[in-house]
Structure 1
Amino acid sequence: MAADGRRADLVPPDWTDLLDPREWRLGPDGLPHRRAARVLVMAAGKQVLLLRGHDTADSSHRWVFTPGGGLHPGESPKQGAARELAEETGLAVGEEHLEGPVARREAVFRFMQVTCRQHELFYLLRLPGPVEVRRDGWTDLERDAVDSVGWWSLVQVSQAQARGEAVYPVCLVGALRDLRAGWDGRVVDLTDPADAGCVPSCRDGGGCSCYSGECGQ
């Protein structure tokens, strides 16, 4: 551990120049960490809205992910989820239309040469059908790092994973299939065991359990 509290082998000295220090703080494990909120947007229970992006410091590092991002100071997770959804997709919805949180996830990942830890809550938005998405609210970083945003069938997501594409959360397809019939009030844990293990408790309170369904296909 470096004198400033960071993991010197995983976090460069200039990490605050690479990540927004208003959102990221060094955690006790020496990694920058932040709280984030994401939205699972389902259209008619058949399609999900996803983004495909890459690491601006390593163009070979690519992945598919749900709309969402870090919380602003003083912002609740549901407020952050609604704001991020509007910024990244142009879908402006009231917080009352977001169900949940329906899931949580602990993620450890490398981005812009920094290994980070993120604590995520997921909300669910149901739409009667796919709608047009817009990019005019994107930040400069999103314009650099996001390659596309659009609607995917659950079969397409499974096929992408079968080809070796990284999709986060890993168990997205199984979780969405479970949610199609309705949300039972549980906050399931979608953490990839490779990141932080499946923790059968929810620090944000209320009925959290590990996800035990099928991850895909």
Structure 2
Amino acid sequence: MTTGTTGAGDLAGRPLRKVARVILFDPADRVLLMHGFEPEDPDRRWWFTPGGGVEGDETLAEAALREVAEETGITDVELGPVLWHRICSFQFDGRRWDQEEWFFSARTKQTETVLTGLTELERRSTAGLRWWSSAALSATRETVYPTRLAELLRTLLDEGPPSTPIVLAPEIA
């Protein structure tokens, strides 16, 4: 999760940070999620997809691949199409994050992860990584973002990627 603001559009007059996220599948169709927490309140935890802000003149696809490498150590990635698009806004680390996010599908055979490429903020707010089966994700009572991820993944695995990206409901917290 880089912190650059390269926004398109706005949310209540605030620019949106342009973010590329990745739904990364392994050969067993498990998806990789990061376990995050609020640095000032480590008991407030959630799971989320790898990804972060677009830097400089890089494309969304370039940002997606860079973020996966930095946040997970996985570099052998076959990037697929954009699946979903959403606007979100949330409080984190003492500030408001207003984002426009694109979720790419991706596949890898590399399942070993490392957290050595994290930024300082990510080191202060990441508890680890986990590969989730669709069934485990559907059964969990833990907080996962985007909030409908289990349902979205089930549809994706059953029907394949949509012909055009699906616009998800905004998530404002």
Aligned residue for 2:135, secondary structure, equals helix
Q: 2:165 aligns with which of 184, 187, 190?
A: 187
**Amino acid of the structure 2 residue aligned with 1:140:** E
Alpha-carbon distance, 1:59 to partner: 2.4
Show the counterpart of 2:29.
46
**Amino acid of the structure 1 residue aligned with 2:5:** E
Alpha-carbon distance, 1:175 to partner: 1.6
Distance 1:144 1:122 in 2: 24
Q: Which structure features the higher share of strand residues?
A: 2
**Amino acid of the structure 1 residue aligned with 2:19:** A
* Greater alpha carbon shift after TM alignment, 145-154 vs 39-48: 39-48
Pair 1:146-2:122 in alignment: no
Q: 1:133 aligns with which of 113, 116, 124?
A: 113
Alpha-carbon distance, 1:45 to partner: 5.3
Q: 1:71 aligns with which of 50, 54, 70?
A: 54
Whose Rg is larger?
A: 1
Pair 1:175-2:152 in alignment: yes
Distance 2:61 2:153 in 1: 19
Per the alignment, do residues 55 and 92 of structure 1 end up closer, same or farther by CA in structure 2, a change over 3 Å counting?
Answer: same
- Tell me if the contact between 1:133 and 1:150 (Cα under 8 Å) persists in the aligned partners: no
- Tell me if the contact between 1:31 and 1:116 (Cα under 8 Å) persists in the aligned partners: no
**Identical-residue share of aligned pairs (%):** 34
Distance 2:15 2:91 in 1: 11
Pair 1:101-2:82 in alignment: yes
Pair 1:58-2:41 in alignment: yes
Alpha-carbon distance, 1:176 to partner: 1.5
Alpha-carbon distance, 1:33 to partner: 2.9
Aligned residue for 1:98, secondary structure, equals strand
Show the counterpart of 1:202.
none
Which structure's relative contact order is higher, taking Cα pairs within 8 Å and 6+ residues apart? 2
Pair 1:120-2:120 in alignment: no
**Amino acid of the structure 2 residue aligned with 1:195:** I
Structure 1, unaligned stretches of length 5 or more? Answer: 1-18, 197-217
Distance 2:156 2:115 in 1: 27
Show the counterpart of 1:83.
66
Q: Aligned residue pairs: how many?
A: 170
Distance 1:74 1:31 in 2: 21
TM-score (norm 1): 0.69
- Tell me if the contact between 1:40 and 1:124 (Cα under 8 Å) persists in the aligned partners: yes
Per the alignment, do residues 60 and 32 of structure 1 end up closer, same or farther by CA in structure 2, a change over 3 Å counting?
Answer: farther
**Amino acid of the structure 2 residue aligned with 1:23:** T
